């Protein structure tokens, strides 16, 4: 399994019908695989989405919703409000049974690598990856290039298309600025056109990187026994894209390529090469799908259905998304989307859409919008940017209003649809224990006893008659251990034979808690 991921990119690929998308390598991957046209993140920013991708659970259930929780914005020096400057940091803490899904793969013999970004809203336990660094590679697994090599799950992430690469030109200018299409919800100005064009420039550079990575896979003779998944972590890093719950912020390109003979490769109309599917897919479905593809039944605590593999579930009727504090701007929005309609619930309707986000305003186009909002210089179609408050509910028919600017919530013709989607969202919020608090002491008190981060108990190593067992008093703690000569921590699954000589080391870590100290046993 190979995940190729990028950042801050909507479906602008040539294979998705965008004539400005210079993406020959990604288009070739799409021609050899299946293109998903309805794939969505659960947030419009990376850290909450990365929490979901690594755990297979929703950020709203674990205090992982604000952007971010383990650190503050890189533009903190530009935040002048003393209350907003003093927002605390914490670690997202899901229920004790939740694990990072690569740990489950490692427990089944997979070699798991991450190159390189984590940003999970918590410190990753040592059991998650065999290697997580800018040197991590499937080629580093033992016996690489031989039949004895372990199966692998590898993640490679590129930041070429990240929002920060729009702030200043980093890629060659290959896009005609006059050919750029400015959506109606943005003002058509030279600064906005330049920022959109830079997105396309960065996309062209990303495509070259993808081609190089796929060439490495082929050079290693692994093309015909590796499932490849390519996707972005959320929508474009542009105004009213990133951070928003509209499709511009949530929808991502997703391509899955199967090797010849793979049971999910299918026949025409059923995930065959070059086909597309409009099945609704959410990031919360990705972890169970990877497990399903390698024959592991997803655990019950993963709420999303696998969309491929032997444990694939029924297609979704709805998917769900949220927006919370965008450092430092407070916010609470929840959303539901079906195949056609999008429903948005603004729980802080008193707040403006365009809050104070200094990091966002490092881009010239976003800074220009901030000035236009203050000066009243935006047009009627840009009401979502200029509004000083928000309607409590929004409803959009994405089939005819792909930009989501015509709010149908008060239209009696859509009353039944509004009721249905309102009920679906309310059920999801209840079912997933949505905390809906902004941040700070109240949320930390919900996550941790007395509002203070606990420490995972030290593991206990016991050897009886040459068999070693490791236990921990902390419920849900992941257990890692090292034998003499090990560099990476192994995942403890069951008792094992004691080594002939040298110490055994063990470490325990429940997600969101502080990790334990290392325990040693010298036979």
Q: Classify residue 454 as exposed, middle or buried by CB count within 10 Å of its CB (0-12, 13-18, 19+).
A: middle
The Cα–Cα gap between 304 and 285 comes to 4
Instruction: List the Cα angle 36/39/42 in 5-degree steps.
Output: 165
The Cα–Cα gap between 90 and 270 comes to 44
- Our measurement of the distance from residue 39's CA atom to the centroid of its chain's CA atoms, rounded to an integer in Å, reads 12
The Cα–Cα gap between 457 and 14 comes to 52
* 3-state DSSP assignment of residue 497: strand
- Helix-then-strand count for the chain, H and E: 12, 21
CB contact burial 139-154 (16+ within 10 A = b; e otherwise): ebbeebeeeebebbbb
Nearest to 348 by CA among 388, 390, 396, 385: 390
133, two tokens? 């660094």
- The contacts of residue 500 (CB under 8 Å, 6+ apart) are none
The Cα–Cα gap between 449 and 514 comes to 13
Known catalytic residues are 46
Instruction: List the Cα angle 185/186/189 in 5-degree steps.
Output: 155
96, two tokens? 């004790």
* 3-state DSSP assignment of residue 25: helix
The Cα–Cα gap between 65 and 56 comes to 14
């Amino acid at each position: 399994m190979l995940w190729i991921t990028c950042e801050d990119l909507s479906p602008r690929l040539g294979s998705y019908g965008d004539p400005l998308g210079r993406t020959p390598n990604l288009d070739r991957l799409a021609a050899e695989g299946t293109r998903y046209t309805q794939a969505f993140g659960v947030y419009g920013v990376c850290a909450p989405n990365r929490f979901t991708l690594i755990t297979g659970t929703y950020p709203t259930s674990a205090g992982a919703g604000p952007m971010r929780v383990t650190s503050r914005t890189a533009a903190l020096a530009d935040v002048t409000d003393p209350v907003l400057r003093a927002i605390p940091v914490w670690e997202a803490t899901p229920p004790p049974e939740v694990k990072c899904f690569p740990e489950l793969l490692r427990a089944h013999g997979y070699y798991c690598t991450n190159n390189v970004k984590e940003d999970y809203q918590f410190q990753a336990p040592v059991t998650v990856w065999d290697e997580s660094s800018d040197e991590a590679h499937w080629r580093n697994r033992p016996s690489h290039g031989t039949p004895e090599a372990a199966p692998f799950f590898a993640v490679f992430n590129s930041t070429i298309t990240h929002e920060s690469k729009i702030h200043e030109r980093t890629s060659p200018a290959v896009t005609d600025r006059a050919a750029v299409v400015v959506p109606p919800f943005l003002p058509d100005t030279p600064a906005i056109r330049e920022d959109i064009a830079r997105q396309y420039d960065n996309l062209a550079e990303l495509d070259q990187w993808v081609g190089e990575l796929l060439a490495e896979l082929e050079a290693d003779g692994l093309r015909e026994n590796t499932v490849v998944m390519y996707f972005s972590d959320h929508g474009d890093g542009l105004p009213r894209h990133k951070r928003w719950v509209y499709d511009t912020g949530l929808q991502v390109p997703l391509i899955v390529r199967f090797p010849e003979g793979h049971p999910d490769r299918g026949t025409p109309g059923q995930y065959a090469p070059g086909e597309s599917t409009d099945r609704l897919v959410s990031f919360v479905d990705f972890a169970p799908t990877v497990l399903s593809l390698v024959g592991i039944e997803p655990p019950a605590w993963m709420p999303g259905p696998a969309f491929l593999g032997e444990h694939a579930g029924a297609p979704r009727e709805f998917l769900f998304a949220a927006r919370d504090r965008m450092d430092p701007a407070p916010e609470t929005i929840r959303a539901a989307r079906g195949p056609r309609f999008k429903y948005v619930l603004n729980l802080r309707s008193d707040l403006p859409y365009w809050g104070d986000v200094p990091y966002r305003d490092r881009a010239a186009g976003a800074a220009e919008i901030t000035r236009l909002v203050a000066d009243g210089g935006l047009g009627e179609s840009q009401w979502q940017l200029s509004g000083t408050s928000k309607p409590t509910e929004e409803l959009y028919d994405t089939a005819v209003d792909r930009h989501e600017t015509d709010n149908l919530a008060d239209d009696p013709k859509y009353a039944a649809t509004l009721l249905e989607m309102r009920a679906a969202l309310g059920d999801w919020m209840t079912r997933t224990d949505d905390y809906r608090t902004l941040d700070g002491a109240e949320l930390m008190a919900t996550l941790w006893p007395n509002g203070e981060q606990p420490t995972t108990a030290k593991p206990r190593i016991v050897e009886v008659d040459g068999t070693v067992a490791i236990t921990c008093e902390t419920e849900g703690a992941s257990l890692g251990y090292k034998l003499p000569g090990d560099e990476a921590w192994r995942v403890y699954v069951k008792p094992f034979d004691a080594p002939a000589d040298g110490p055994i080391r063990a470490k325990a870590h429940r997600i969101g808690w502080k990790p334990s100290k290392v325990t040693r046993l010298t036979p």
